[in-house]
Chain A
Amino acid sequence: MDDLLSEFLTETSESLEVIDSELVRFEAEPNDQGILNNVFRLVHTIKGTCGFLGLPRLEAVAHAGETLLGKFRDGTIEVTPPLVTLVLESIDQIKALLAHLENHETEPEGDDAELISRLEKAADGELGAPPEPVAEVPAPAPEPAAAEAKPAASDKKPRPANLADDVRWDEDLGRELRPGEVSLAELEAAFASVEVEDFSNPPDATEETAEAAAPEAATDDAEEPEAVTPAAVAAAIEKAVANEPEMASNTPRASQSIRVNVDVLEHLMNMVSELVLTRNQLLQMVRQMDDSEFKTPLQRLSNVTGELQDAVMKTRMQPIGNAWKKIPRIVRDAAQDLNKKIKLVMEGDQTELDRQVLELIRDPLTHMIRNSCDHGLELPSDRMAVGKPEEGTIILRAYHEGGHIHIELRDDGAGLKTARIRQKALDNGVITPEEATTMTEAQIHRLIFAPGFSTAEKVTNLSGRGVGMDVVRTNIELIGGAIDLVSREGEGTTFTIKIPLTLAIVSALIVGSQGQRFAVPQLSVVELVRTGSNSENKIESINGTQVLRLRDRLLPVLPLANALKLDDTNAENKNRFVIVMQVASQRFGLVVDEVFDTEEIVVKPINSVLRDITEYSGSTILGDGSVIMILDPNGISKLAAFDKSTTGTKPVIQETRKIVSRGDQKTSLLVFSAGSAEPKACPLSLVTRLEEIEVDRFEMTNKGPVVQYRGQLMPVIPMSGGLTANEEGRQPVLVVNNGDSVVGIGVDKVLDITEDVLKVAIGDTTPGVLGTAVIGGKATEVIDIGHFLGQADYDWAKAMSEGPKEPKSLLLFESHDFFRNMLAPLLEASGYRVTTVSSVEEALAANIEPSDFDVVLADIDNDAEARAFVDKLSTDAEWADVPRVAMSNREESLVTPDFAGCVRKSDRHGLLAVLDQTASLKGQAA
């Protein structure tokens, strides 16, 4: 693009931002000449430059807008909201034209006759409020005046080359030529004389122009026969010029600044980062040497590098006000659209932060402001009704605290309606009815950050399209920030955003797991806890889910090794560290083996081939020159499914298992597919772990595929069909713990873990299938895991069945259909003759004889029925010498005097061992 044009675009878009916010201010304070002059000057500059660059369409619009502004300034037309809207409209049109210009380097086709004619009409006083009496001089009057003024100007400075141009404008733009024409000549003169400086210092150039214009205008006017109004105009202009120094003190203006391309700064930043890293390396090397002569110069180098780093960082810092410039306009438009009265208070707009961060928070902030206007604040009438001032207030505040920028957005509106959010979340399936009753008010409020959540009853122009706060949250989290809110119904809502000052350098904790080092951003680390057998902080587990007792509270924890699928050989080591992390409103612990140090690290973007791994946010080079990965707390919390709002995260590791409640016959079920698309299920308690194993780790033996798994060989039995046909990728495997050994069962895909009443509705004689049950509303085949275990060559059943030489007979009392159906074939496969009964009645009806049985196995978990049965047996002399074995999953019931042995239901290995032992007891007794 033409250099001149690109300079013009940059400069003009900056001016337009200022104009936007200044105009809104002006609307509120129509008597403030300083603001108006500023706006007028900026529009004027744009117009003038357009003429210079040959952009007639832009110029025409700018001119028409300027005309109206001129009327405001003269006081001939009273400032009213509709008129300001009209001016804003012309500014918008300029923006649209500029956007086109930026993309195509030419002005778009067509014209803006309609807009211009409206602006002209407004300038003629045909729109909005009637002109003030002072301005009684009829609007057309300036027309002849202008026409006369022009030749006068030409007379003064005869410039034939420009004359043609002047004439054309006259035709195009009509009456209100005076200010434009005069200063165009001046502007060109200014451009010609200060060719180089004028872009770096545009306001000054304009000032010159304005100053120069003033006397000239005055001279022109003096020649006019009808001098009343023009004199007033001249006076106004002079006043404006006089006001300018005041203005300068109001608006921060960099007098000693140059424009630098952002790329140059980026490059500089990168170089300094490298320098810092190299210095760190040197420091580390020298630290290991005693008494090195390098020490002093290195110290100096270190200081200089530090200062250089600070200085370069500063070049990237910009006041947050730059991201706020558009906000007054947004609030104003929203207030108009919604018929609300809104006061916007902005504090701390000079708070500085990295420009990269600035760019990234601009959109989320805008969205939130719109939300506050639309959903937060009530209509004036509603506000009056509850005794609040008619005008709602939105406060936007920014401040530094602890190396972060805090942005606070507060409104004094209606607050969040807890009940409605809860209902909506229920309707959308974001939460379950159970959760709805147990969640605190604050937790419910935070649901507005959940994906696809919008409570707006009607979709308005501003918001309510269903993408909302979740996008805001995602954007903020992307830059390592956090968002939270506090709301009181009737009193308003406060959002707080915490974002890092810069993305380039972060403070990180270096931790180690399985001999590898990783960096954890300090921002999300709350505390470090050392755990150990002697420590009061112990990691305990509930059904495989690990939790940490921390100050009388339970904190879910996840070993880093599991999160990264490293082989966790240190699982038994109790002396580890837990990093307590806070991600959004979730707190969890990350278990690591070692904690080394904190280090300031320069975040390097991650290579595109690794970008999909959400567990990392980047990589860096440490002081010792080694490369390490930076963990992304958000990604890890999602992986561990600690984050409820993320649906669709596949629970792959055992920590994600739901805690099973056994009270009502509900069973935790693992739903998966194998062979066909239809879902299959088995009780989760039978599966020790879910793994995804890379296909190339499978090795073939003559007994079928095996995998080296945690230091032992694990046979893998494919369920229906075979292992995944493709040679790459991962094979989901259900790992079944089999006492000393493990067996893997290959399935196609793990679908879900669900909790449901397991009731086998249709029996099935297919080997390996117990029957079909309705799980989660779908017909699902219930798989007999035991059958597949039987296929493994290291099968526990066969191994154990070598024990009893003759088949022993066993009476199985189990009232639960599922377990009965599952246990019986297993026991038979292990060499028992099994008789099953499900109730005392059935037992009596079956007319069982004590002498027929070597052992009685009873499930005492499920009901009183089983107890009654067992009691009956123990009081019956005939049964007295038949040993009894109890099965239970409850810890406390495992100590039962009535039984010869007691085992956990899921512990097949133990069960068979106990049975084998007790069954032979009878023989000895007899």
Chain B
Amino acid sequence: MSSTEYITLYIGGQLFGAAVSRIHDVFAPESITPVPLATKEVAGLLNLRGRIVTAIDARSRLGLPKREDDASVMAIGIEKGTESFGLLIDEVGEVKTLDDGDREDVPSNLDPVWAQIASGVYRLDDGLLVVIDIDKILAFESENDADRGAKAA
């Protein structure tokens, strides 16, 4: 049976897993430049070894409360097309290899935003692991889109 390697991470106390194949980097973000007028999911831009990376706050993306100022924050680096993203998360765990067959569908009563970014759930001994669909979590309807669309209309 085929299996997938996941890197485990915590966002707002919940355990998540992201496919290792999609993760380029794990780093501690430093000096994020905020971008005024950007949608709330965009935490800002940062310089990762000479590349400009757009930091997306996973908490804000999932509708969770903001991280406290002194709370630790980590980021996972993702390449999407030619663009670089950094997904801001609370904590990085370990790498786990999980059987694809054990993955269960997303429960139907999950919050729609969560359901949208989750591609499955694993029942682990120490809790549930939600598999993040990397493409989905980076694809969000920006408010500005809607805003400007309305203006143009």
Contacts and interface: CB of A to CB of B under 8 A. Distances in A.
A778 to B, nearest CB: 18
A351 to B, nearest CB: 32
A912 B93 CA distance: 63
A516 interface: yes
A465 interface: no
Contacts of B52: 604, 607, 619-621, 627
Interface string A588-623: 000000000000000010011110111110011100
A629 B143 contact: no
B147 interface: yes
Given A516-B34, A628-B33, A729-B146, A609 B40 contact: no
B36 A626 contact: no
Given A628-B33, A649-B151, A730-B143, A613 B38 contact: yes
Contacts of A863: none
Interface string A272-299: 0010011000000000000000000000
Contact of B37 (A274, A613, A650, A728): A613
B142 A626 contact: no
B27 interface: no
Contacts of A629: 33, 35-36, 45
Contacts of A627: 33, 44-47, 52
A565 B37 CA distance: 7
B117 interface: no
A604 B52 CA distance: 8
A696 interface: yes
Nearest to A621: B47
A729 B44 CA distance: 19
Given A625-B47, A627-B46, A650 B35 contact: no
B39 interface: yes
A335 to B, nearest CB: 40
B109 interface: no
A566 interface: yes
Interface in B137-153: 138, 140, 142-148, 151-152
Residue of B35, B41, B145 ringed by the most chain A CB atoms within 10 A: B35
Nearest to B143: A729
Q: Is the interface of B mostly helix, strand, loop or mixed?
A: mixed
A140 B42 CA distance: 77
Contacts of A566: 36
A564 interface: yes
Given A627-B45, A628-B33, A612 B54 contact: no
B27 to A, nearest CB: 14
B141 to A, nearest CB: 9
Interface string A870-908: 000000000000000000000000000000000000000
What size tier do the contact residues of chain B reach? 20 to 34
A653 to B, nearest CB: 12
Contacts of B138: 609
Interface string B42-59: 101111001010101000
Interface in B2-44: 31, 33-42, 44
Contacts of A604: 52
A609 B42 contact: yes
B83 A608 contact: yes
A607 B84 CA distance: 8
Given A627-B33, A728-B143, A610 B54 contact: yes
Find the residue from A610, A612, A627 having the highest chain B CB count within 10 A: A627
A620 B41 CA distance: 21
Nearest to B85: A607
A604 B143 CA distance: 23
Contacts of B40: 694, 696
A20 B56 CA distance: 52
A628 to B, nearest CB: 6
A728 B61 CA distance: 11
A639 B36 CA distance: 14
A134 B56 CA distance: 80
B140 to A, nearest CB: 7
A648 interface: yes
Given A608-B83, A627-B45, A729-B146, A565 B50 contact: no
Residue with the highest number of chain B CB atoms closer than 10 Å, among A277, A278, A609, A728: A609
Nearest to B54: A607
A925 B73 CA distance: 70
B37 A564 contact: yes
By CB atoms of chain A within 10 A, which of B47, B54, B85, B147 has the most?
B47
A260 to B, nearest CB: 21
A629 B44 CA distance: 10
Nearest to B50: A274
A275 to B, nearest CB: 9
A209 B138 CA distance: 59
Contacts of B39: 609
A565 B36 contact: yes
Given A613-B144, A627-B46, A516 B36 contact: yes
B50 A609 contact: no
A613 B63 CA distance: 22
A543 B74 CA distance: 48
Contacts of A696: 40
Nearest to A622: B47
A727 B143 CA distance: 12
Nearest to B138: A609
Contact of B50 (A610, A621, A727, A730): A621
B37 A615 contact: yes
Contacts of B145: 612
A626 B83 contact: no
Contacts of B42: 609-610
A274 B49 CA distance: 10
Nearest to B84: A607
Nearest to B45: A627
Contacts of B37: 564-565, 613, 615
A696 B140 CA distance: 17
A649 B150 CA distance: 11
Contact of A626 (B33, B63, B147): B33
Contacts of B151: 648-650
Nearest to A281: B50
Contacts of B36: 516, 564-566, 629
A619 B83 CA distance: 13
Contacts of A620: 52
Contacts of B85: 607
Nearest to A516: B34
Nearest to A727: B63
A23 to B, nearest CB: 41
A613 B31 CA distance: 22
B65 to A, nearest CB: 10
A638 to B, nearest CB: 11
Nearest to B36: A564
Most buried by B among A274, A564, A614, A621: A621
B78 to A, nearest CB: 12
A566 B74 CA distance: 26
A626 B54 contact: no
A609 B140 contact: yes
Interface string B113-153: 00000000000000000000000001010111111100110
Contact of B144 (A607, A612, A619, A626): A612
Contacts of A628: 33
Given A277-B50, A607-B85, A648-B152, 10 more contacts: A609-B42, A610-B54, A612-B142, A613-B144, A621-B52, A626-B47, A627-B44, A628-B33, A629-B33, A649-B151
The 3 closest A-B pairs by CB, nearest first: A564-B36, A607-B54, A627-B45
Interface of A: 274, 277-278, 516, 564-566, 604, 607-610, 612-616, 619-621, 625-629, 648-650, 694, 696, 727-730
26 contacts: A277-B50, A516-B34, A516-B36, A565-B37, A604-B52, A607-B45, A607-B52, A607-B54, A609-B56, A609-B140, A610-B35, A610-B54, A613-B38, A613-B144, A614-B148, A615-B37, A616-B35, A620-B52, A626-B31, A627-B45, A627-B46, A627-B47, A648-B152, A649-B151, A650-B151, A696-B40
